[in-house]
Amino acid sequence: MTNIHERIKAARDAKGFSMQKLAELLGIKAWQTIQQWENGGTAPKRKRLEQVANILGVTVEYLLQGSDPDGDHAPIKLIDAKASAGTGQIIYSDDVKKMLMFRRDWLAKNDAKPNNVVAFPVDGDSMVDEHIIDGAVVLVDTTKREPLSKRLYVLWINEQLYVKQLIKKNGLWFAHSRNAAKADEYPDIQIDIDDRIVGRAFWCGFGL
């Protein structure tokens, strides 16, 4: 069983924050305070704990008990697609309001472990025929990088991140859009498959 100290560290790691970064966001001068919380030396008081939970995108109940009122959820990191473009690295959003929570048992049913899953925000309508609309979010398993034709992936293309369908034709791989109404606007893009796959998409959600 984990304790509050381990859960603070786990939630901080999930956000990709250093101890110093978390301290800065909390308005704490010494990052060693965070270190003490995580090694069991001290623990934050209730008001401070609420601030910690808000910044890390989890609930107070999760930090205290390892669960929240809706069950056992895991925080999923959101890719900052604009910051990632052209860097060759995955950059995560600092917007705690966009930290997503998913049930661990649901992720397990999808053969996905929380630490391997990222959320990718969709910009544009190139995949509407797959019901992936502008402003939607897809979940991506970063361990599933084996290319499979006709499956959906997040890919590096022309120094940007996209969600596309992989298609193999005559031994070549193409990133294929799924918008029949605008097919001329979204032609297939031939890609070198090596190092292009971020992960396979397995879920999509959007607001109404």
Each residue of 28-68: pLDDT tens digit? 999 999 999 999 889 898 889 989 988 988 888 778 876 55
Q: Higher-confidence residue: 207 or 39?
A: 39
**CB atoms < 10 A from the CB of 164, how many?**
24
d(CA 57, CA 63): 11
Spatial strand order of the sheet with 100-103 comes to 100-103, 73-78, 117-121, 137-141, 197-205, 152-157, 160-169, 172-176, 189-191
Gap between the terminal Cα atoms of the chain: 38
Burial of 187 (0-12, 13-18, 19+ CB in 10 A): exposed
Structure pTM? 0.66
Least confident of 58-67, 96-105, 173-182: 96-105
- Mean pLDDT, residues 143-148 taken together: 94
The confidence score (pLDDT) of residue 208 equals 56
The overall average pLDDT reported for the chain is: 86
Each residue of 184-202: pLDDT tens digit? 999 999 998 877 899 999 9
Burial of 2 (0-12, 13-18, 19+ CB in 10 A): exposed
The confidence score (pLDDT) of residue 70 equals 44
The angle subtended at Cα 65 by Cα 63 and Cα 71, nearest 5°, is 95
Q: Which residues are CB-neighbours of 98 under 8 A, at least 6 positions away? A: 78, 121
